[in-house]
Amino acid sequence: MYVVFVDVQSGAELLTTVSQDVAGLLAACQGENVTFPFGTYQYEFHSLDHYEEDGVFKQELVVYFKQQS
């Protein structure tokens, strides 16, 4: 499944990846902090989005983070 990490304040995509272990990835994101090469973030919330692309139904997990100061 596609997983998109988004900065909740700016709406900017931090990273897009594909994972077969969505539950494990989500559990890890809900920990203390997540560090990207350009900053440290804390989990805020997530949503599971369903959409159609070229006649195929797809889903992606969108995980929202707030940058730590």
Q: What is the pTM of this model?
A: 0.88
Please give the structure tokens belonging to residue 22: 């969505």
Residue 4 and residue 21 in contact, taking contact as beta carbons nearer than 8 Å = no
Please give the structure tokens belonging to residue 65: 């983070």
Phi-psi region of 67 (alpha: psi -120 to 50; beta: other; left: phi over 0): beta
Q: Can you give the residue range of the structural domain that contains 47?
A: 2-67
H-type alpha helices, the chain:
22-29
Question: Rounded CA gap, 50 and 57, in Å?
Answer: 7
Q: Which residues contact 56 (CB under 8 A, 6 or more apart)?
A: none
Return the pLDDT at 8. 96
Encode pLDDT of 44-67 as tens digits: 999 999 999 999 999 999 999 999
Count of structural domains within the chain: 1
